[in-house]
Amino acid sequence: MFVVNNRIILREAEQKLKEMFGDQYTASRVYDNEEDYSGDFIFATSSSLASSGRLQTLINHGPIESIIYDEVHHVPAMQNRGIHRRVNEASIKNGWNTKFLGFTATETRPDRASVIAFFGRKITYEYPILQGWEEGYLAPMRY
């Protein structure tokens, strides 16, 4: 499942999945007026999962093999924290061994809430912004 709080990023991620894998995987959506849990990949906004019992429906549909959080620095927010906690609890209870993967370009939250704590304090891979600039993959910020 791919979770982000922004529909534009969600649509772009779904498009990239199709570009990279064609029809090898199916995609479904749980946001706005769409509620389809049948795909190999489910694209969802955190606000959609938190409303109308959608998260419980997803958990009941299980197993959830993995969750990819884009803009993972939002996970400490109450709504996202609740989603993470409930999926983690369901994973433990049902023996799913759900994997959690997060991406962000925001190193530090203004409130200093820990993001890495949600991932057992393990960073699998880190790509510093400065390195991205030096290698030409990221454009420097200009204010």
Pair 101, 65: CB distance under 8 Å: no
The β-bridge partners of 16 are none
Helix (H) or strand (E) holding 101: strand 99-103
Please give the backbone phi and psi of residue 99, each rounded to the nearest 5 degrees, phi first. Answer: -100, 140
Helix (H) or strand (E) holding 28: strand 27-31
Q: Which amino acid is at 96?
A: W
* pLDDT > 90? residue 119: no
Helix (H) or strand (E) holding 117: none
User: CA–CA separation, 129 vs 19, rounded Å?
Assistant: 26
Model pTM? Answer: 0.85
pLDDT in tens, 17-75: 999 999 999 999 999 899 999 999 999 999 999 988 999 999 999 899 999 999 999 99
Pair 115, 72: CB distance under 8 Å: yes
